[in-house]
Structures are given as structure tokens and as C-alpha cells.
Amino acid sequence: MTHKSLFDSCTLGALTLSNRIVMAPLTRNRAGQGLVPTDLTATYYAQRASAGLIITEATQISAQAQGYQDTPGLHTQQQIDGWRKVTEAVHAQGGRIFVQLWHVGRISHVDLQPDGAAPVAPSAIRAETKTFVNNGFADVSEPRALQLDELPGIVNDFRQAAANAIEAGFDGVEIHGANGYLLEQFIKDGANHRTDAYGGSIENRARLLLEVTAAVVQQIGADRTGVRISPVSPANGIACSDPQPQYDYIAEQLSALGVVYLHVVEGATGGPRDVAPFDYGALRSRFKQTYLANNGYDLGLATASLNDGKADLFAFGRPFIGNPDLVGRLKAGAPLAALNPATLYGGGAEGYIDYPTLAEASTS
């Protein structure tokens, strides 16, 4: 049997990726005035363009969709223009880049919402979690339940943000249906107590994610559309009583829509992989396109999973922060640099674009 390597090139839809290592979305809270990506943002992503694919930090589709301080948007012309500098910088380095589109739903604070309004959610259930606002962490605000006639507008916001992404030069988009944000709030019955067409059954709870995905596919094409899910992650105070049948159904429906990849957080986001029982093999068997595995992967586990046919691409998150040349370090078997936790969220160049490559570190 031929041994497969993470460092071999591969295809993703119409794209050729230089390797199977993906830079996972990482919130850094460094958007400028108007929530526009800055020149620092362009430098940051260009430094990491050796990843086979970069998926950007989560990027809000509307003003209502924001849940954290200083996260970038993709719903104004200034934001589109700012992101274009990023995509041009990454492409100049030979990289590929998707933008992750999100609506945070109830994971927000009134100080971040237009006119100080309450955040929105499938049901008026407050999450037991905090958000980053006013330069610190605070409890999220009490949400209000979305009305039925508001949902087409949210679908359209995702569609328009996808169109904006292509205008900004992205190779594609990832729809954020994970980690306790709006689309997952509809999916998981711990946050969704609705009794209309968007609540109750497995099919109803998946409806908004699938409508959003269908709208984005229609706008920009299935080969430029990925979706992220986290079947059993408790991130942001979310819970689901029936994750296996719920997500098996979602995988089947997303496969039928032809989306180019399914990005799966296996286990608890940033935590244990075995947080709850779940058969990821069954999920993978229902999705016929590229399976992107995430959570706790190192070179050894990823290589073994690739050769066992468990996944096609592998997302690495925080290691990319302190190691802009992560792919090269992994290939060389070099030690990885640690990140500075004090500079993860907010700030400027420090802890953002000043991490040296292995070559730079050896000459300093």
C-alpha cells in the first residue's frame, strides 16, 4: 500500500493545495476601525501561506452577527477592500485562503449590538459563557428569540457575505455551523426550544444550516463552499441530546448539496477528543467529498488517520500562531515554538506578526 504524506499536494474542488495541512480559524481580535482587516492582518496570513489552505478567523456577516470585540466583518465595502489586501498577500506567497463566515447568535453582548439591542437566538435562552468585550471578558447578554420572518434575512446575509468574499478575492468560504454559534444553536436542542418549522425534529433543527448552505452554493458554487460542524463539543454552553442521528442527517444533506469539504471538530473544541461518544467514521461515510478533521491532531495522529482513510485534510490551530512556518517545522521534525497567551486576543503586532520562523530564530 502506498504511504500517504501530509506534505503531498492534493486537490480540493478546482484548487490544488500544496499539502494537506490546514490553518484552522483562530480569533485574534485585531480588526481596525470599522472592523476592517489591517495591513497587520495581511502580513499575519501571508506569513502562514505555506499551509495547504488557510481558513481565516471567523468573520461576521452583518452588524448583528458580531459577538466579540474587534472581530472583522465582511458586510461593508471597506471590509471587502481590507480583506482584498489579505487575499492578495496570501496569493502572492502561493497560498490558498477561505474566509469563515459566522453569525454568533446568542454569544454576544448588548454593547456590541446595533443600538444596544439584545442578541438573537433560536430561543430566548441565555448561554452560560462569556464573551470578549470592552477589553475584558463578560457574561453574554440575554438573547431574544428570532421571529420566523427574520430567518430569510439571515440566510440572505450569509449569501451576500459569500458574494462579498469572492469580490475580496477569497478562494472560497467556510460556513460556521459549530462551537455554539447561531447555526449550531438551531441544530442543538439544548438551545432550540422552537415549535415551528425550525425546531423539534432533526430535520427542522438542521433547516437553517441547510438553507444557508444552499444559498451560498447557489451564489458562489459548491466547489467554493465548506461547512464546519462540532457534533459533541460543549463550546459556548451548547448541548445536544441526539448528536449521532442529527449529524448523520446533516452530513448526508451537505453531501447532496456537493459542498467541497466538511470540517469536523472531533470532541470538545480545544479540549479532549473523547468528551462524548460519537462515531466519526459513520459521519464520514455519509459525506462523499473532502473530510477535514480538527482537534488535537499532531503529525503522527494526522499521518495515521490519513493512511487509515479517516480524513483527507487536517486542521492545526494554535500551533500556527507561534509557528508561522508550521508546515516546514513539521516536515523537518523541528521543535515547535510556544505562543504567548497574553497576546492572543487584541493588541497589535506583538504576539501577532513577530513570531520568528525556524530560520530566523536560528540566526538571532
Mean pLDDT of 130-155: 97
| Architecture of the CATH domain 10-363 | Alpha-Beta Barrel (3.20)
181 is catalytic: yes
Mean pLDDT of 326-352: 96
Question: 315, 318, 253: which is closest to 289 by C-alpha?
Answer: 253
pLDDT digits (tens, 9 = 90+) for 99-115: 999 999 999 999 999 99
User: Residue 341: is it exposed, middle or buried by C-beta count within 10 angstroms (0-12/13-18/19+)?
Assistant: exposed
Q: Does the reported pTM lie above 0.75?
A: yes
Q: What is the pLDDT of residue 362?
A: 78
- pLDDT cut 90: percent of the chain above it: 95
pLDDT digits (tens, 9 = 90+) for 193-246: 999 999 999 999 999 999 999 999 999 999 999 999 999 999 999 999 999 999
Q: What is the pLDDT of residue 1?
A: 53
pLDDT digits (tens, 9 = 90+) for 66-106: 999 999 999 999 999 999 999 999 999 999 999 999 999 99
Distances (CA, A) of 299 to 25, 147, 321, 336, 355: 19, 46, 17, 12, 21
**Of 181, 198, 247, 291, which residue is the catalytic one?**
181
Q: What is the pLDDT of residue 272?
A: 85
The pLDDT mean for the chain works out to 97
